[in-house]
Amino acid sequence: MQSELVLAPMDGICDMAFRRLCRRFGSGMSIIPFLHARELMASDLEMNPSLQFTPDERPIILQLYDNCEENIILAANNLQKIQPDAIDINMGCSIRSISARGAGAGMLRDPQKIASIIRRLSSMLDIPITAKIRIGWDSKNLNSLEIARTIEENGGALIAVHGRTRQQRLSGLADWDSIAAIKQEVGIPVIGNGDVRSIADIQRMKSHTGCDAIMIGRASIGNPWIFEPRTRASVPQSEVGEVIGEHLENMLLLYEPLKAISRFRKHLVRYVEPHALSDDLRLRLLTSDHLVSLLELLAQAGFAIPNRQKLMNCVS
C-alpha cells in the first residue's frame, strides 16, 4: 500500500476514470468493486469492461461478491488470469436484494462459510485474500470481532471495516470503537471506514482506532484532494476546473460521449456544490447531455477547462 488513505470501492462510482484520478491524488490502491462471482467463473475476462485497469493503478484489487462459496472459488481462480494484486471478498454490501440472500453483509451471519472461503482461497491462490466487512448484521448481532478473527485465522491478509451494521446501511454514526477493538484483536492490517468526511476526521479516526489505513468513500466524490490530504476549501476554482477537465477526459476515453456525460453527473454535482451558482445555471449544468453545451456552461460557471480541445478530440 502506497498511502494510508484508500478510495473505498463504491459501486457505480469507482470506474477506472475515477480510480486513476484518485490514485494521482494519493489513494494507496485501486479496488475494482462489486464483481458478481457467478458472472466471472468461466467468462472471457479480457472482454469485460468492468475489469479494465491500467498499470499505474497497481496495486489493483478485485472485489467479489456472491452467496455461493463455489462460485467465489471458481471466479477467483479464473481472475488470476488478469494478474490482480489481491482479491477482496465483499461482506459489507447492505443492499437488501444482495444481503438478504446471504451475499455481501449477509455473509456475516455465516462465519463458517467465511472461514471456508478465506481458507480455500488463501491456500489456492498466490495473491493475498482480503475482506471488507461491517460490524454486524444489526445492533443485536454485532459479531465483527469473531469475523475478524475468522478471517485472520484462515489466511486473510487484510480487513477493511465499515463501522456500521447492515441494518444501518449509511445512516447513523459509524462505530469507531468497534474498529479499534478489531485492530487490537488481530495482527493483520486493518483499514477503518465510515464517517471520514474531512482532513480532521482522518486524524481523529487514526488516533481513535489505531488503524493501519483509512478508507474514504462518499467524501471523495468531487473531492479527490482529500487524498493529498488537502481541504476542499483551499482549492481555487481554477484548479477545480482543471480537475473537472481531467476527470471528464478520462470518462470520455472510457465510455461513448452520452454515457460518459451521464455517468459524470454524479461527480459534477459534487465538484460544483461548494461554489455559488444560480439555481438556473446549476440546473442547466447538471442536466446538459452534450459536450459542447456542457463546456460552455462550465465556462459560464467560472470553471475554466484548459484541455477543452482534447475533450473535443475524444468525441470527434
What is the DSSP annotation of 60-113?
EEEEEE-S-HHHHHHHHHHHGGG--SEEEEEE----HHHHTTTSGGGGGG-HHH
- Residue 236: strand, helix, or coil: coil
Domain that includes residue 248, residue range = 236-315
The per-residue b/e assignment along 236-248, b for 16 or more CB within 10 angstroms, e otherwise, is eeeebbbbbbbbb
Same domain, 114 and 130: yes
What count of Cα atoms within 13 Å lies in the side-chain half-sphere of residue 32? 24
- Give the domain-ending residue among 232, 249, 278: 232
pLDDT at 1 over 70: no
- Single out the residue in 232, 257, 286 at which a domain terminates: 232
Half-sphere exposure of 97 toward its Cβ, with a 13 Å CA cutoff? Answer: 0
Residue 47 confidence class, pLDDT cut points 50, 70, 90: confident
pLDDT in tens, 226-285: 999 999 999 999 999 999 999 999 999 999 999 999 999 999 999 999 999 999 999 999
Number of domains into which the chain is organized: 2
Average pLDDT, the chain: 95
Domain boundary among 180, 203, 232: 232
* Contact assessment for residue 303 and residue 241, using Cβ atoms and an 8 Å cutoff: yes
Residues forming beta bridges with residue 88, ordered by sequence position: 63, 130
Q: Which residues are catalytic?
A: 93
